[in-house]
Amino acid sequence: MTTIFPTESREPDFARYRVQWEAALLAQTVARTVCLEDPDQKELLRAWVNGLFNAASFAAEGESEGSGFLDWRMSGPEQFDLIYHSAHGLTCSLGRVYRQPSGTWGALVIAGVKDDPAAAMAAAEWAIARLSS
């Protein structure tokens, strides 16, 4: 006996597993590119394996294989953006460094992309709490 689930009932799970697949590809790129301590490297690889497994088990993975790359680009006279280029074509800014009036350099990290200002503010507060702990 075969059970066929209607498409409507799969959509929320499909979207969640698709996001996990994209996060897994980003985790793989960061693990491969950034010099990290072993515990941090293991956490990234754990996210990579979990995301790939969940996406594959739900057929939510994309058609591209491999990982993307990180690229520092000059975005102003004294400003650089860290750009993530995924293997499937997504390009987004993950961070920025810039010269401050005092001559020091500030670093910003993108905490996530949300649908409204309140959710974006909550993501920023969460990221600051994580970085501070």
- Residues 76-113: pLDDT tens digits? 999 999 999 988 788 888 999 999 999 999 999 888 77
Question: What share of the chain in percent tops pLDDT 90?
Answer: 26
Q: What's the DSSP call for residue 93?
A: E
User: Which is higher by pLDDT, 91 or 130?
Assistant: 91
Mean of the per-residue pLDDT values of the chain: 84
- Asked if 31 and 52 touch (Cβ cutoff 8 Å), the reply is no
Residues 16-26 have a mean pLDDT of 83
Measured between alpha carbons, how far is 89 from 61 in angstroms, rounded to an integer? 14
Residues 16-44 have a mean pLDDT of 85
The pTM score is 0.70
Strand partners, 71: 83
Residues 17-29 have a mean pLDDT of 84
**What is the pLDDT confidence band of residue 71, given thresholds at 50, 70 and 90?**
very high
Q: Can you say whether the dihedral through the CA atoms of 78, 91, 123, 50 is positive or negative?
A: negative
Question: pLDDT at position 47, please?
Answer: 87
Q: Which two tokens stand for residue 15?
A: 């979207």
**What is the pLDDT confidence band of residue 27, given thresholds at 50, 70 and 90?**
confident
Residues 28-49 have a mean pLDDT of 87
Question: pLDDT at position 100, please?
Answer: 95
